[in-house]
């Protein structure tokens, strides 16, 4: 918003983060964001604070961007942070203000928040709530924010629509489609989109299971399906499946909300989407155990990757880290290496070993497992891994390596959803896609 020309005050309850941001440091890894923060700070249009009084005073439009994690004791979304952000800001507002939700929430939340705002705000406040779901992907956050596929405005009045159109005018003027709708639909668009994406990934991973039972190759299958325009190749990449702070908890929260609304059957299939996704993790452990000779105890495994996807240091519900933990529980000695996420991973699982480099991670590894497809791992050659001390056994859980190159170099090679190559000729039959 500051880059687009607005005067922005960012509020957080975490003093450490606020201090870091005011010092020009982004407290997580996101390519391109430090440069944008520097640009915004140089313009003098952005500051960060923990002071809600200042925030209420400052803004005409208040965006709520806090997390909605899964509750500890159920599949539902934990709305504590959204509630608290709205309460803190609304109780300090005088005059007109628009509160715009960006957080991913169960349908119906905005209506509850509007009531809450009404209840806690001073008598002279005229607060309206609107919903503007966020569709950015981690790793591409800057570009997705400045050049989104679409903007969705969930509004209850013309005034709110007008204000949102004005706020986003630099983006709208670039020709980005705007969809104006009622608030429940706007809330639903987000969970429906994430559920669709999760379903697409689990669909191809279900096909991978069938491939494993038949000797078929899921990479070729995915390529052939993706060439059908009606299906499309995006989010059809087989492998270890989805994780992160969004897709897993969103499909679960959607199921919980649908059940509350009496339409649980309509999204019951999301339980299967979840189950298929989780099965990829145990299947990866099976392949590693197989290469280790049937027993993981005392086996040294190099776990390449901890983040839930490349270009991120986010380890929330990370499939890679889950596999590392499962291996550890079976007695393997696991050394994790992630170019950006080691620190976050260590905080979560201090019992695993962590290496500072790819070479250090694979040194003496009995089995190497590629779990997050960072470029560094895709580009490493079988020869360089062996030179660093790895035994020539690779499990490619993201289906990104050139299996022919590995088999030609004498490696035992397994990948999810692909037949185990018996010889160099065998590996060559299957194109690396």
User: What are the residue numbers of the active site?
Assistant: 246
Q: Which of 8, 40, 201, 267 binds ligand UGA (CB under 6 A)?
A: 201
By CB under 6 A, which span of 110-118, 232-240, 290-298, 348-356 interacts with ligand UGA? 232-240
Please identify, using beta-carbon distances, which residue of 183 and 321 lies nearer to ligand UGA.
321
Contact 315, 348 (CB under 8 A): yes
Q: Is 242 in the site for ligand UGA (CB under 6 A)?
A: yes
Q: Tell me how far, at minimum, the Cβ of 393 lies from ligand UGA, in Å.
A: 23
Number of residues that bind ligand UGA (CB under 6 A): 21
Q: Does 349 contact ligand UGA by CB under 6 A? A: no
* Angle at 175 (CA atoms; ends 170, 181), nearest 5 degrees: 90
Candidates 194, 199, 284, 403; binder of ligand UGA (CB under 6 A) is 194
CB under 6 A: which stretch of 130-138, 323-331, 361-369, 421-429 binds ligand UGA? 130-138
User: What is the distance between the alpha carbons of residues 380 and 370, in angstroms, rounded to a whole number?
Assistant: 11
Q: Is 86 in the site for ligand UGA (CB under 6 A)?
A: no
> Order of strands across the sheet with 412-415?
353-354, 333-337, 300-304, 367-370, 393-396, 412-415
User: Which range binds ligand UGA by CB under 6 A, 33-41, 133-141, 151-159, 298-306?
Assistant: 133-141
Among 52, 235, 269, 349, binds ligand UGA (CB under 6 A): 235
Alpha helices by DSSP H, listed for 134-246, are 141-146, 158-167, 169-172, 183-214, 218-226
Q: Between 70 and 121, whose beta carbon lies closer to ligand UGA?
A: 70
Q: Which is nearer to ligand UGA, 81 or 135 (CB)?
A: 135
Q: How far is it, in rounded angstroms, from Cα 187 to Cα 300? A: 46
Smallest gap from residue 316 Cβ to ligand UGA (A):
9
- Among 154, 239, 382, 419, indicate the residue that binds ligand UGA (CB under 6 A): 239
Is 237 or 281 the residue whose CB approaches ligand UGA more closely?
237
The interface with ligand UGA within residues 297-326 (CB under 6 A) comprises: 308-309
Residue 239, sorted as left (phi over 0), alpha (psi -120 to 50) or beta, turns out to be left
Q: Which span (154-162, 239-247, 400-408, 416-424) binds ligand UGA, by CB under 6 A?
A: 239-247
Shortest Cβ 234–ligand UGA spacing (Å): 7
Tokens of 369: 């497992």
For β-strands 95-101 and 61-64, DSSP reports them as: parallel
The residue among 121 and 344 lying less far from ligand UGA, judged by its C-beta, is: 344
Q: How far is the CB of 88 from ligand UGA (least distance, A)?
A: 23
Q: Which of 56, 197, 218, 321 binds ligand UGA (CB under 6 A)?
A: 197
Task: Please state, in angstroms and rounded to a whole number, the distance separating the CA atoms of residues 249 and 184.
Answer: 19
Identity of the residue, 254 or 308, whose beta carbon is nearer to ligand UGA in the bound complex: 308
Q: In the range 2-41, which residues lie near ligand UGA by CB under 6 A?
A: none
Range 245-304, binding ligand UGA (CB under 6 A): 246-247
Q: Does an H or E element contain 375, and which?
A: helix 375-379
Pairs from 207-216 (Cβ < 8 Å, separation ≥ 24): 207/238, 207/417, 208/238, 208/280, 208/416, 208/417, 209/276, 209/279, 209/283, 209/417, 211/417, 211/418, 211/419, 212/283, 212/416, 212/417, 215/419, 216/419
State which of residues 10, 59, 101, 244 lies at the interface with ligand UGA (CB under 6 A): 244
Query: Which phi and psi (to 5°) does residue 100 adopt?
Result: -115, 115
User: Of 138 and 366, which CB lies nearer to ligand UGA in the complex structure?
Assistant: 138
Applying CB under 6 A, among 92, 237, 281, 316 the residue interacting with ligand UGA is 237
Q: Which of 101, 106, 243, 417 forms a contact with ligand UGA (CB under 6 A)?
A: 243
Q: What is the dihedral of CA 347, 348, 350, 352, to 10 degrees?
A: -130
Which H/E stretch holds residue 99? strand 95-101
By beta-carbon proximity to ligand UGA, the closer residue of 194 and 335 is 194
* Least separation in angstroms between CB 92 and ligand UGA: 28
Q: Could you tell me which residues are beta bridge partners of residue 62? A: 99
Residue 395: strand pairing partners: 369, 414
Report d(CA 425, CA 64) in Å as an integer.
56
Strands 367-370, 95-101: pairing kind: unpaired
Binding site for ligand UGA (CB under 6 A): 104, 134-138, 194, 197, 201, 235-237, 239, 241-244, 246-247, 308-309
């Amino acid at each position: 918003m500051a880059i687009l020309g607005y005067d922005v005050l960012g509020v957080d309850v975490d003093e450490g983060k606020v201090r870091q941001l005011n010092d020009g440091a982004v407290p997580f890894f996101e390519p391109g964001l430090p440069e944008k923060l520097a640009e915004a700070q140089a313009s003098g249009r952005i500051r960060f604070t923990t002071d809600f009084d200042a925030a209420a005073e400052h803004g005409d439009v208040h965006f709520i961007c806090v997390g909605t994690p899964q509750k500890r004791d159920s599949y539902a979304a934990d709305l504590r942070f959204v509630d608290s952000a709205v309460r803190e800001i609304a109780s300090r507002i005088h005059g007109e203000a628009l509160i715009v939700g960006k957080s991913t929430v169960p349908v119906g939340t905005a209506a509850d928040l509007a009531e809450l705002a009404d209840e806690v705000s001073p008598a002279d406040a005229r607060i309206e709530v609107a919903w503007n779901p966020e569709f950015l992907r981690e790793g591409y956050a800057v570009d997705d924010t400045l050049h989104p596929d679409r903007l969705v405005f969930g509004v209850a009045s013309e005034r709110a629509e007008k204000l949102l159109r004005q706020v986003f005018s630099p983006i709208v003027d670039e020709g980005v489609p705007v969809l104006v709708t009622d608030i429940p639909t706007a809330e639903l668009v987000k969970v429906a989109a994430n559920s669709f994406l999760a379903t697409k990934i689990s669909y191809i991973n279900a096909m991978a299971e069938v491939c494993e039972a038949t000797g078929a190759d899921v990479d070729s299958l995915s390529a052939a399906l993706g060439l059908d325009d009606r299906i499309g190749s995006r989010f059809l990449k087989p492998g270890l499946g989805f994780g992160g702070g969004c897709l897993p908890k969103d499909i679960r929260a959607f199921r919980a909300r649908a059940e509350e609304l009496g339409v649980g059957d309509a999204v019951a299939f999301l339980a299967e989407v979840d189950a298929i996704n989780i099965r990829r993790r145990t299947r990866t452990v099976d392949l590693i155990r197989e290469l280790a000779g049937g027993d993981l105890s005392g086996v040294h495994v190099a776990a390449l990757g901890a983040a839930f996807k490349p270009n991120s240091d986010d380890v929330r519900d990370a499939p890679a880290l889950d596999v590392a933990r499962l291996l550890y529980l079976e007695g393997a000695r696991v050394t994790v290496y992630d170019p950006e996420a080691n620190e976050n991973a260590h905080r979560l699982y201090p019992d695993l070993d962590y290496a500072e480099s790819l070479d250090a991670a694979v040194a003496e590894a009995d089995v190497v497992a590629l779990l997050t497809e960072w470029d560094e791992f895709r580009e490493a050659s079988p020869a360089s891994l062996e030179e660093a001390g790895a035994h020539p056994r690779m499990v490619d859980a993201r289906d990104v390596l050139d299996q022919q190159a590995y088999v030609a170099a004498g490696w035992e090679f397994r990948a999810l959803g692909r037949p185990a190559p018996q010889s160099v000729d065998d590996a060559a039959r299957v194109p690396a896609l």
